[in-house]
Amino acid sequence: MKNKSKLELLEEILKTVNTALTPDDLLQYLIDRVIAVTDALTGSIMIINPADNILEIRVSRGLNQKKAAATRLKIGEGITGRAAQAGKPLIVNDAGQNPDYVRIRTDLVSELAAPMIVNSQVIGVISVDSNRKNAFNEEHADILMSIADFAAQTMEKIRLIENLRSRIDDQKCLLDIARILDDAADFPVMFESIMTVLSRHPGLRRGMIVLADEQNVLRTAGGYRLSEQAIKRGVYRPGEGIIGSVFTDGKIKFIPDISRSREFLNKMKIRRSPREKNSFFALPIKSQKSSTGGIIGVLSIEKKFGGENDAQNVIELLTIICGLIANRIYIFSSARKEKEELLDQTRSLKQELIKKDTGNIFFGKSSQIIKLQEMIGIVADTDATCLITGETGSGKEVAARQIHYKSGRWEKPFVGINCAAIPENLIEAELFGFKKGAFTGAVNDRRGKFLQADEGTLFLDEIGDLGLHLQAKLLRVIQEKTVEPLGSDESIRVNVRIIAATNKNLKEMAEKKTFREDLFYRLNVIHLPIPALRDRKEDIPLFIRHFLAVFNKRHNRKIPNLTLQAEQALCGYSWPGNIRELENCMERAVIVCRKNTIDIQDLPESILAGAMKADSGPLKLQVLNEMKNHASGNIYNNIITKVENILLEEALINADQNQKEASKYLGIHRNTLRQKIKELGL
């Protein structure tokens, strides 16, 4: 303070304070500065915890860290507590004569404390101590109070900015959820999608929705990061535990630490680490459309404890979400209760997975896809390099995007490059960028894919087509985490997660020396094989329903379904082009279809030929089986009767039981159809 005027000192501190990025950065800087300017021996900054109105040390210097962490002062307790209570600085220059002095070190005899005030509200106290008597004066107090004012205002500004960012993130979540509600008609898929959006918030562990059934028993209707066994165990009665009480009284419940809650029953028997401090939120879902005009279920999530402010923000967000989804849940609940009337629609709804962006879906009920989804959930939030293998069109890029958007990098860029689609003499410039004048045509600097993906994810598609020369450069970038643009001597540090994909066998290529073995092992940290569509035929109906909904919307059509023959042809085809081929086929069918149902003639000839070839064997076996199991002399009538029965039933279903339309479809006279219906007892 001797070498600088008070004004210069404050200007220097103010300049630094205004550049602080976080409250911790600010406090760490200030404690060092105030100790220096007051020539103190020790110092601390205490912040008031609004939950219990207690002062807690956030940063300190010269104090035993364990003692500092354990020190908690009530407002009015000690010199620091008195400064907080009075709202003005206090000086004690002889601690031995002051009964209020709280001693942390035995050699300290002087203390100066200044409150941090925002909008007439004390939020904390900056205090310094000395082992000299009469160490502090009014000038020190004036300086410290000015610094405390700067700090308080800056912390408030940082808090407001962080709150604004949180609000913006919440708005993005709500917009995404609104889109999901517009598109998704299947309740479990809707809930999974909503929870996936919410998982962008750090610390989300799991979530569930319980709905009341006809007997007023609460059953888990949708779960996120919950096993099937856990969901089956998630059954509650009104008033039972947290879930049951929220359903009964309609009040929001927040449990800061479920490990200390007697209300939390853990009926799902989930194992948790004893070191975890998880909060539990449970909110009622109310629908005015229900017969009682009241509560129809409960939404609950479990997440890592983030403090009181975080809890309030989470409750506000979940309250809005409950309001948004209430109507959808009511529709789902009504559909479940009216299953006799809506049997056919319910069957299709269970298979229908609809989202606006076809590039961001990756679903299925086959065991391979379920295992793949589980693995993606495990590896997504790490920075591990992944190698995705699978045939062309099987969804490798979709899987890569899902890994990215489930990770902590979701807000950062996802940058993809197809190594097979770019000439070898250009791909190096595409990957690493170049400086102006690096080669003919380089008229400006250009950032490569690595720099574009900095802090995000770089997806290297068809990595097996990358030349050996570039493989070596890629390996060096992965190892050193730096890139050198063409024409530059400067190494630029990058933070990029690598996800590679190929339809080739890189291990065999490495053995044949056509792919670098060291690069293969660098990329193959996590191997994610994508099954071909022909190996997951149970998922084909899901994709059919999804693409039908997508292209109906895209091309402004209203085609609700396919005929049985058309769907059987699609399911019987081998799909060498995988999901991409199925997507193209469905778009074509929606465009060319001129009826209200896609029929077999709306499909490409290649699909029909492939499906008939695949089905000819089983059909022949069925005929031979009939011949084997029936006595001779009546085989023809038995087989023809069965074929006619199936044919007429399906024709009537396709024509909505309109006999005139069905006879026209079959190419027979209406009287003939009526006679056959009578003969077959349809």
pLDDT at 19: 63
Q: Is the full-model pTM beyond 0.75?
A: no
* Residue that has been written with the tokens 């709905």 in this structure: 211
pLDDT at 177: 76
Query: What tokens does 272 get?
Result: 């948790």
Query: Which among 210, 175, 204 has a CA at the least distance from the CA of 191?
Result: 210
pLDDT at 127: 92
* Residue that has been written with the tokens 């053995």 in this structure: 511
pLDDT at 291: 54
Tallying the residues shown for the chain, one arrives at 682
Per-residue pLDDT tens digits for 177-209? 777 776 666 677 777 788 887 777 667 888 888
Domain ranges of the chain: 6-161, 184-351, 358-531, 537-680
d(CA 118, CA 158): 13
Quote the percentage of the chain above a pLDDT of 70: 84
Burial class for 14, CB neighbours closer than 10 Å (0-12, 13-18, 19+): middle
pLDDT at 388: 96
d(CA 515, CA 532): 24
Per-residue pLDDT tens digits for 404-420? 988 888 888 999 999 98
Query: What tokens does 632 get?
Result: 């001779």
pLDDT at 471: 92
- Residue pair 130/40 in contact (Cβ under 8 Å)? The answer is yes
Give, in order, the Cα–Cα distances in Å from 296 to each of 117, 286, 289, 349, 398.
Answer: 46, 6, 10, 21, 35
d(CA 314, CA 254): 10
Say if residue 358's pLDDT is above 50: no
Write down the mean pLDDT value for the chain. 82
- Residue pair 385/520 in contact (Cβ under 8 Å)? The answer is no
* Phi and psi at residue 136, to the nearest 5°: -125, 150
SS3 74: strand
* Residue that has been written with the tokens 């962008």 in this structure: 200
Do 6-161 and 184-351 show the same overall fold?
yes
Half-sphere exposure of 219 (CA within 13 A, CB side): 11
CATH (residue range 184-351): 3.30.450.40
SS3 149: helix
pLDDT at 2: 47
Query: What pLDDT band is residue 661 in, cutting at 50, 70 and 90?
Result: confident
Topology of the domain covering 6-161 = Beta-Lactamase (3.30.450)
Of 676 and 345, the structure prediction assigns the larger pLDDT to 676
SS3 468: helix
pLDDT at 344: 47
pLDDT at 624: 54
* Average pLDDT value for residue range 224-234: 86
The CATH number, out of the four listed (1.10.8.60, 3.40.50.300, 1.10.443.10, 1.10.3720.10), of the domain defined by the range 537-680: 1.10.8.60
Say if residue 583's pLDDT is above 50: yes
Highest mean pLDDT among 326-330, 416-420, 662-666: 416-420
Per-residue pLDDT tens digits for 86-116? 999 999 998 878 888 887 888 898 999 999 8
End-to-end CA distance of the chain: 102
Architecture of the domain made up of 358-531: 3-Layer(aba) Sandwich (3.40)
